[in-house]
Structure 1
């Protein structure tokens, strides 16, 4: 199983190599345009980052649990930016 560091690195590589900015990545994966990422939208991001299908559901839940500060079970742009800032460190 991938470690947290491995997973975060894959997400960072996806965002930095395929998108001009993290905001463009966020907008790309925001399928319904509501300016929030749902669990299924996060799973799509993880799939593109080549995270194993077996653990995508677990990781998407953990990302929501760790970064969803307003408790709506979605990741807003500001919450996503916090996650990206952490990944970049």
Structure 2
């Protein structure tokens, strides 16, 4: 399994190489347009970031657990920005 740094690095590469801004990446993965990423939407982001299928579910749960400050089991834009800030 990759380290936290490996996972965050792959997410950074995805955002940098495929989107003009983090906002564009967030909007792309927010499939229902509700302003929040579900675990399923986060899993899709991890898939695009080439995170191993075996660990995607675990990593998406850990990302929600680590950055979901509102405790709604979703990642909103502010929480996403905090996660992105850790990458940079």
Please say whether Structure 1 and Structure 2 have the same fold, judged by a TM-score greater than 0.5.
yes
The root-mean-square deviation of aligned C-alpha atoms, in Å, is 0.4
- By how many angstroms is 1:53 displaced? 0.5
- By how many angstroms is 1:2 displaced? 0.8
Cα deviation 1:20-64 (Å, max 9, x = unaligned): 000000000000000000000000000000000000000000000
Return the TM-score normalized by structure 1. Answer: 0.98
Count, aligned residues: 88
- By how many angstroms is 1:68 displaced? 0.3
Q: Does 1:46 align with 2:46?
A: yes
Runs of 4+ in 1 over 6 A off after TM superposition: none
Structure 2 stretches lacking a partner, 5+ long: none
Structure 1 stretches lacking a partner, 5+ long: none
The equivalent residue for 1:14 is 14
2:9 alignment partner, SS class: helix
2:11 alignment partner, SS class: helix
Return the TM-score normalized by structure 2. Answer: 0.99
